[in-house]
């Protein structure tokens, strides 16, 4: 899939580019609004990531242009401004999602996946996981065709997030940010993720082995699939 | 003591002193006036008698050369005329006793010698001293009564006028200082007064408030800008750490170091995000247009937070006796308010502790109460718990930077929700939110 990254901080755009390339996205980078405007008019993209704080261009105008020349593209706004008004304006203008800085690359990928599933109708949303199968569209986990209803929304979120980044160890901060991202609190070192993982294991172990959900000592958790 | 009372007291006292002095001096004054008046009268009477003698001759009074004496009925006045030795000269007015028909009476007597037909005569005109002084004491008491009445009247007037005069001062203090909610500069509203001093005070206070507001605003802008500016570098660092930790060729040791780095970064990120949130709330950058019922809100919080109860086996009980629909609120902010309150109740609770959340109506207002059976807050610290970065030695098990309650406070202020805190050390704390 083609992604246009519009971000004037070169260091940041390079990190985003490096990360997305690893996930097999094709990336194009613009450091200025004018450059981005040209690219939007000429090329076709699946994703356009727009930083609202560009020095030479009004970010929301780029969004309008994107909607005009790349109507199929999914637009995600990235901003440090955290302005509530900007968020509403952006979503009103047709942005598909909004990610406030500082954001996690894993979260960015998760949002892009969710949009892709919704927008481009990705097939194969049922992923096998040991004896279990995870249905990403209906957001459920089943064992031998039978849905496990004991799994809560948050627990499913954790499993699907780990599954999206499978074979990669996610630390507690990354999992925390995904699960409690919208909560502003003053704990920076909570270990409540452990309680969630404990519950998930307990609930799933009643049906089958969960050796695919690994604890990486001192780091975090990982879903290992072949 | 109030200025008005002081002024009135001073007025009353000063007037009283003057009146008492006056009343005490009154007999002397009246005495002097009476004496002068009497002396003048005596002189006039003397002149009259001399005139009569000149025109009618001395025989009119002394037909046979015997001394003449005449008294009024009550012996208040008397006139005496007698022959005196030729060398005797007298012209005085003095007090002296005379025996009249067996009564000894004090008289004010004018003695005057004059020559008539080659003979020397002595004329005495007298007035009883008693009649001179007798008006003095009733005058004194009347004067006292009248003056006391006047004092009462003027003091009352003074009091009312002072009250009227000082009213703008009370208004200035109430409108400009007491009812002022910092920081929120409204348009300048002049307090009506014709007194220059109060106008001056009013304007000075307004200038001061504007100055304070401007300083507040600058500080808020600074916090807001600083937080924004920090967001991008934090993102870059976080993304670099994430990209690095995603590589398969790094050692476990390096991986652990990266997690440590991420932890530190996370701390920085939380502080920045929280500061930004508080400054956004204080700058009123959030909308209040959500509608949510209390039970729904509390259930949302409970869903989100229940996993945290597990660690210490804490029981949480939500009891909504009287549900209320909150209008024109910010759902995100209210959620965070209760999340932080309940999170604290968990953090500072004991093993097997309890948390009770109650929502009810009390004396016409709506109250939501969050109480725990935790370690409590020492009484002397209660006034400071809402201060930013104020850390108390409450619990060693949890890492936090002391912004949880400031978040609660600024969200409550933003929604005009009152907060009452009561706590008993070792027994628990109770936060009461009183809705407008």
Does the pLDDT of residue A189 top 80, yes or no?
no
The full DSSP string for B281-323 is HHTT-S---EEEEHHHHHHHHHHHHGGGGGGGT-EEEEEESS-
Most distant pair of Cα atoms in chain A: their distance: 58
Does the pLDDT of residue A109 top 90, yes or no?
yes
Residue A155: the pLDDT is 92
Write the residue in A184, A195, A199 that is nearest to B273 by C-beta: A184
Please state which of the ranges A115-129, A130-144, B40-54, B87-101 shows the lowest mean pLDDT.
A115-129
Residue B400: the pLDDT is 65
Check CB contact of B270 with chain A, cutoff 8 Å. Answer: yes
A34-70 pLDDT per residue, tens: 999 999 999 999 999 999 888 888 888 999 999 999 9
**In terms of pTM, does the model score above 0.80?**
no
B274 vs A contacts (CB less than 8 Å): 184, 186
A-B contacts (CB, under 8 Å):
135
- Spatial neighbors of B279 by CB under 8 A, at least 6 apart, are B220, B223, B224, B227
Write the residue in A102, A188, A220 that is nearest to B399 by C-beta: A188
In this prediction, residues A10-14 reach a mean pLDDT of 93
Write the residue in A16, A53, A187 that is nearest to B400 by C-beta: A187
Residue B320: the pLDDT is 92
Query: What does the domain layout of chain A look like in residue ranges?
Result: 2-119, 126-223
Contact A95, A115 (CB under 8 A): no
In this prediction, residues A90-117 reach a mean pLDDT of 90
Residue B233: the pLDDT is 92
- Spatial neighbors of B121 by CB under 8 A, at least 6 apart, are B58, B81, B82, B83, B84, B113, B114, B115
Class assignment of domain B196-282? mainly alpha
Write the residue in B229, B240, B401 that is nearest to A188 by C-beta: B401
Q: How far apart are CA A164 and CA A92, in angstroms?
A: 29
Residue B390: the pLDDT is 66
> How distant is the Cα of A69 from the closest Cα of chain B, in angstroms?
29
In the CATH hierarchy, which fold is given to the domain comprising A2-119?
A: Rossmann fold (3.40.50)
In the CATH hierarchy, which fold is given to the domain comprising B290-435?
A: Heat Shock Protein 90 (3.30.565)
Nearest CA-CA partner of B410 in B305, B222, B280: B280
Check CB contact of A168 with chain B, cutoff 8 Å. Answer: yes
> How distant is the Cα of B2 from the closest Cα of chain A, in angstroms?
48
Same fold, A2-119 and A126-223: no
Q: With CB atoms and an 8 Å threshold, state whether A218 touches B398.
A: no
Q: With CB atoms and an 8 Å threshold, state whether A80 touches B404.
A: no
Does the pLDDT of residue A24 top 50, yes or no?
yes
Query: What count of other Cβ atoms lies within 10 Å of the Cβ of residue A80?
Result: 23
In the CATH hierarchy, which fold is given to the domain comprising A126-223?
A: Arc Repressor Mutant, subunit A (1.10.10)
Contact A63, A75 (CB under 8 A): yes
B174-202 pLDDT per residue, tens: 888 777 665 555 667 788 888 899 899 98
The residue of chain A with its CA nearest to that of B225 is A81
The full DSSP string for B122-173 is EEEEEEEHHHHHTTHHHHHHHHHHHHHHHHHHHHHHHHHHHHHHHHHHHHHI
Residues 206-225 of B with CB under 8 A from A: none
B202-211 pLDDT per residue, tens: 889 888 888 8
The residue of chain B with its CA nearest to that of A83 is B285
A184 vs B contacts (CB less than 8 Å): 273-274, 277, 336, 340, 407
pLDDT averaged over every residue in chain A: 89
Write the residue in B263, B276, B335 that is nearest to A82 by C-beta: B276
In this prediction, residues A98-125 reach a mean pLDDT of 86
> How distant is the Cα of A130 from the closest Cα of chain B, in angstroms?
23
> How distant is the Cα of A129 from the closest Cα of chain B, in angstroms?
21
Q: Which residues of chain B have pLDDT under 50?
A: 395-397
Tokens, residue A103:
């954001």
The residue of chain B with its CA nearest to that of A81 is B228
Residue B186: the pLDDT is 63
pLDDT confidence of A123, banded at 50, 70, 90?
low
Residue B184: the pLDDT is 57
The full DSSP string for A109-174 is HHHHHHHHHHHS--S--EEEETTEEEETTTTEEEETTEE-TT--HHHHHHHHHHHHTTTSPEEHHH
Query: What does the domain layout of chain B look like in residue ranges?
Result: 3-136, 196-282, 290-435
Residue B337: the pLDDT is 94
């Amino acid at each position: 899939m083609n992604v246009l990254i519009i971000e004037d901080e070169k260091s940041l755009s390079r990190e985003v580019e490096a990360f997305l390339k690893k996930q097999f996205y094709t990336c194009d980078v613009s450091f200025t609004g004018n450059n981005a405007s040209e690219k939007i008019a000429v090329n076709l993209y699946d994703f356009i990531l727009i930083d609202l704080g560009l020095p030479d261009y009004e970010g929301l105008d780029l969004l309008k242009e994107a909607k005009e020349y790349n109507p199929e593209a999914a637009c995600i706004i990235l901003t440090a401004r955290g302005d509530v008004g900007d968020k509403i304006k952006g979503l009103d203008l047709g942005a598909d999602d909004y990610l406030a800085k500082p954001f996690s690359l894993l979260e960015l990928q998760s949002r892009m996946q969710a949009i892709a599933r919704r927008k481009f109708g990705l097939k194969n949303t049922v992923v096998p996981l040991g004896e279990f199968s995870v249905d990403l569209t209906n957001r459920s986990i089943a064992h031998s065709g039978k849905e496990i209803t004991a799994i809560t929304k948050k627990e499913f979120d954790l499993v699907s997030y780990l599954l999206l980044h499978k074979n990669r160890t996610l630390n507690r901060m990354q999992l925390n940010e995904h699960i409690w991202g919208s909560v502003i609190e003053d704990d920076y070192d909570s270990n409540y993720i452990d309680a969630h993982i404990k519950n998930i294991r307990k609930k799933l172990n009643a049906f089958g082995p969960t050796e695919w959900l690994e604890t990486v000592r001192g780091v975090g958790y990982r879903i290992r699939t072949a | 003591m109030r200025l008005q009372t002081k002024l009135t007291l001073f007025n009353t006292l000063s007037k009283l002193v003057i009146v008492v002095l006056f009343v005490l001096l009154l007999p002397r004054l009246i005495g002097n006036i009476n004496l002068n008046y009497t002396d003048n009268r005596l002189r006039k009477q003397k002149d009259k008698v001399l005139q009569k003698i000149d025109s009618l001759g001395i025989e009119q009074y002394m037909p046979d050369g015997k001394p003449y004496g005449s008294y009024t009925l009550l012996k208040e006045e008397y006139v005496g005329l007698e022959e005196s030795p030729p060398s005797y000269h007298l012209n005085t007015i003095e007090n002296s006793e005379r025996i009249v028909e067996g009564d000894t009476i004090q008289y004010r007597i004018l003695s005057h010698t004059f020559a008539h037909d080659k003979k020397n005569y002595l004329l005495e005109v007298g007035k009883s001293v008693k009649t001179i002084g007798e008006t003095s004491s009733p005058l004194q008491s009347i004067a006292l009564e009248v003056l006391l009445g006047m004092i009462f009247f003027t003091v009352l007037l003074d009091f009312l006028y002072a009250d009227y005069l000082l009213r703008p001062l009370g208004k200035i203090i109430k409108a400009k200082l007491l009812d002022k909610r910092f920081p929120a500069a409204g348009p300048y509203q002049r307090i009506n007064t014709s007194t220059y001093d109060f106008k001056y005070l009013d304007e000075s206070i307004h200038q001061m408030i504007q100055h304070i507001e401007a300083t507040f605003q600058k500080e808020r802008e600074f916090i807001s800008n600083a937080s924004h500016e920090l967001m991008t570098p934090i993102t870059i660092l976080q993304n670099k750490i994430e990209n690095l930790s995603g590589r398969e060729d790094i050692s476990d040791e390096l991986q652990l170091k990266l997690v440590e780095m991420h932890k530190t970064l996370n701390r920085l990120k939380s502080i920045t995000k929280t500061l930004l949130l508080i400054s956004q709330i204080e700058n009123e950058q959030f909308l209040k247009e959500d509608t949510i019922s209390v039970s729904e809100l509390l259930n949302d919080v409970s869903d989100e937070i229940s996993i945290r109860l597990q660690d210490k086996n804490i029981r949480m009980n939500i009891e909504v006796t009287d549900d209320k629909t909150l209008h024109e609120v910010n759902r995100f902010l209210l959620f965070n308010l209760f999340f932080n309150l309940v999170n604290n109740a968990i953090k500072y609770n004991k093993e097997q502790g309890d948390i009770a959340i109650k929502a009810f109506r009390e004396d016409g207002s709506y109250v939501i109460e969050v109480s725990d059976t935790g370690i409590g807050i020492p009484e002397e610290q209660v006034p400071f718990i809402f201060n930013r970065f104020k850390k108390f030695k409450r619990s060693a098990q949890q890492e936090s930077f002391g912004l949880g309650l400031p978040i609660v406070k600024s969200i409550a202020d933003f929604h005009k929700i009152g907060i009452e805190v009561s706590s008993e050390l070792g027994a628990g704390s109770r936060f009461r939110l009183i809705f407008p």
